[in-house]
Amino acid sequence: MAKIKKLLVANRGEIALRIMRSAREMGIKTVAVYSDADRNALHVRFADEAVYIGQSPSVESYLRMEKITEAARKTQADAIHPGYGFLSENEDFARHVEESGFIFVGPSAQSIEVMGSKLAAKEAVSRFNVPLVPGTSEPITDLVSAKKIAREIGYPILIKASAGGGGKGMRIVDREEQFEEQMERAVSEATSAFGDGSVFIEKYVTQPRHIEFQIFGDQHGNVIHFFERECSIQRRHQKVIEEAPSSVLTSELRQSMGEAAINVAKSCGYYGAGTVEFILDENLNFYFLEMNTRLQVEHPVTEMITGIDLVKLQIQIAEGEPLPFKQEDLSIQGHAVEVRVYAEDPANNFLPDIGTLKTYNRPQGNGIRVDDGFEQGMSIPFYYDPMIAKLICHAETRELAIEKTIRAIDEYEITGLETTLGFCKYVLHHDAFRSGNFDTKFVEKFFKPESLSTSPLHAEELIASALSVVEYGKNTANHQEPVELKTISKWRKNRL
């Protein structure tokens, strides 16, 4: 068993800080890496050492494997944590890290490879009695047979990129007439975003809820789960509000979904932290969607209800320790809600609204946690994901956790750019959310830009932010959904 003494975090922003904090509590030294845009970033200041790895676009810095291992060698780090996004789900990176003589704080390259392809993942789990969404198990090659399958499954169907992630490369098809066009779009989106145009068909589950299970495996074959997270409040197939536990799961359903999640992990010999995503239909049937082989953005809600530091556990597992508890040792304590604070304008189709944090004051108090990577006066770089912070609130019951989150949102002061805070408050007040009776269509069904009263911006600020969005679209190929230029020009017209 190799104790980690110095950890390099191959990431930036809130997640880099969050990982370093746990490492420091464990007596582990930390190394940051940074690009030009992040010279003054908080993760750089927090780390014991920091190494410059290149220019701002992530292909020039945070995605350069050799630069990262070179930085680890130079600082004599013994392990590398990839965080989320960037290289975290890249099997070549995991292999490169290990072949360079460092511990990779994550699963094996082989598990990442299997689960990185949605089709390979389905194939692997199908032998483990895990329910799958009806659909094709092979990439679509010819249109005629694909249409035939779609007809058998029944419309609406979803065309999905096998290599997809972050909500990209997905197209809903309501009628056969649209099939060809949507398929072409899905293939071209998948090719440009993931370099792999393989797409497949899934039944589109109407009224779907997104429920995922946090799992953990060790290198000795043990796997347990840390209950579920409800992540149905999404825009562009990406989450904005998450909570744990879910208000729809009975303890029986929790148990059977938990067992299925453990089987998914076992199907690929998984160790480390992972998330098994399911879709739940209106009759509470669940189906496996995919597995994310990394720490998830929303992991803090699980930490709040279990009292366990998941990053510390990741480090212990990477050191070769066995899981320190059994399934029956774990229980759910209270309820936690996370809202993601993005530099986006909900009144304008959630387009990024990059700028400077003129005012930035975090909420405080019992049961409130803010994970962020910025301070007042800092700018949100347009090269990366525009998430400013995650606000996580914990209380005894769902109702109290919601009330606490609303109070914290009211206390959160951010000026200089638009954020998702007002939108999140709107959701938290909404009857559908309150009743627990909602699905992934919440935004479509209940949210209109008029639902919010936005503060008018200055003309120069409008021009500056519109220009930065154009730049942002050019530079974010790998870490965020690229903003389509078509949408931008429409957006600029509306705003200017």
d(CA 71, CA 31): 9
Residue 232: left if φ>0, alpha if ψ -120 to 50, beta else—which one? alpha
Kindly tell me which residue out of 296, 316, 419, 420 binds ligand ADP, with binding defined by CB under 6 A: 296
Residue 53 dihedral angles phi and psi, to the nearest 5°: -120, 5
In the complex, what is the shortest distance from the CB of residue 48 to Mg ion, in angstroms, rounded to a whole number? 34
Residue 245, contacted partner among Mg ion, ligand ADP, none, CB below 5-8 A by kind: none
Neighbours of 181 (CB within 10 A): 11
CB of 116 to Mg ion, least distance (A): 12
Counting contacts by CB under 6 A, is residue 237 touching ligand ADP? yes
Nearest to 232 by CA among 15, 446, 484: 446
Instruction: For residue 372, give Cα distances in angstroms to 62, 167, 242, 294, 397.
Output: 19, 23, 17, 19, 25
57 in contact with ligand ADP (CB under 6 A): no
Give the three-state DSSP class for 117. Answer: coil
Which of Mg ion, ligand ADP, none binds 15 (CB below 5-8 Å, type-dependent)? none
- The gap between the terminal CA atoms of the chain, to the nearest Å, is 60
Is residue 230 within 8 Å of 280, Cβ to Cβ? Answer: no
For 407, the token pair is 């109070």
276-315 residues near Mg ion, rule: CB under 5 A: 277
Which position among 64, 171, 254, 294 bears the catalytic label? 294
Residue showing the smallest CB distance to Mg ion in the complex = 277
Q: Figure out which of the listed residues 198, 292, 348, 475 binds ligand ADP, where binding follows CB under 6 A.
A: 292
- DSSP 8-state secondary structure symbol assigned to residue 4: P
Q: Which of 277, 345 has the CB closer to Mg ion?
A: 277
The option from Mg ion, ligand ADP, none interacting with 482 (CB < 5 to 8 A, set by class) reads none
Q: Is 167 in the site for ligand ADP (CB under 6 A)?
A: yes
Chain positions 202 to 231 lying near ligand ADP, rule: CB under 6 A, are 202-205, 208, 210
**Contact between 158 and ligand ADP (CB under 6 A)?**
yes
Query: How far apart (Å, rounded) are the C-alpha atoms in residues 408 and 425?
Result: 10
- CB-based contact 199:187 (threshold 8 Å): yes
Minimum gap (Å) between residue 83 Cβ and ligand ADP:
9
In the bound complex, what is the minimum distance in angstroms from residue 475's beta carbon to ligand ADP?
A: 13
Handedness of CA 61, 67, 69, 71 (dihedral sign): negative
Nearer to ligand ADP, 260 or 289 (CB): 289
Burial 397-423 (b: 16+ CB within 10 A, else e): ebeebbebbbebbeebebebbbbbbbb
Q: Which stretches within 379-420 are classed as H helix?
A: 398-411
Judged by CB, which is closer to ligand ADP: 61, or 478?
478
Q: Residue with structure tokens 């069904």?
A: 445
Among residue numbers 38 through 67, which ones bind Mg ion (CB under 5 A)? none
Amino acid at 155: Y
Name the residue type at position 454: T
Which residue stretch of 34-42, 68-76, 176-184, 201-209 sits at the interface with ligand ADP (rule: CB under 6 A)?
A: 201-209
Q: Which is nearer to ligand ADP, 75 or 302 (CB)?
A: 302
Residues 243-272 that bind Mg ion (CB under 5 A): none
- Contact criterion met (CB below 8 Å) for 96 and 65: yes
By CB under 6 A, tell whether 436 contacts ligand ADP.
no
Q: Which stretch binds ligand ADP (CB under 6 A): 4-12, 425-433, 451-459, 475-483?
A: 475-483
Query: What is the nearest approach in angstroms of ligand ADP to the Cβ of residue 358?
Result: 25
In the complex, least distance from residue 212 CB atom to Mg ion, rounded to whole angstroms: 8
- Which of ligand ADP, Mg ion, none does residue 475 bind to, with CB < 5 to 8 Å depending on kind? none
Q: How far apart are CA 202 and CA 55, in angstroms?
A: 40
CB of 275 to Mg ion, least distance (A): 8
Near ligand ADP by CB under 6 A, which window of 1-9, 16-24, 44-52, 472-480? 472-480
In the range 255-284, which residues lie near ligand ADP by CB under 6 A? Answer: 277, 279
Burial (Cβ within 10 Å: 0-12, 13-18, ≥19) of residue 135? buried
Catalytic residue status for 294: yes
Q: Which of 52, 84, 128, 426 binds ligand ADP (CB under 6 A)?
A: 84
Cβ burial of 366 (10 Å; 0-12, 13-18, 19+) is exposed
Residues engaged in binding ligand ADP (CB under 6 A): 84-85, 133, 158, 164-167, 202-205, 208, 210, 234, 237-239, 277, 279, 289-290, 292, 296-298, 385, 440, 478-480
Q: Would you please indicate which residues are annotated as catalytic (active-site) residues?
A: 294
Residues found near Mg ion in the complex (CB under 5 A): 277
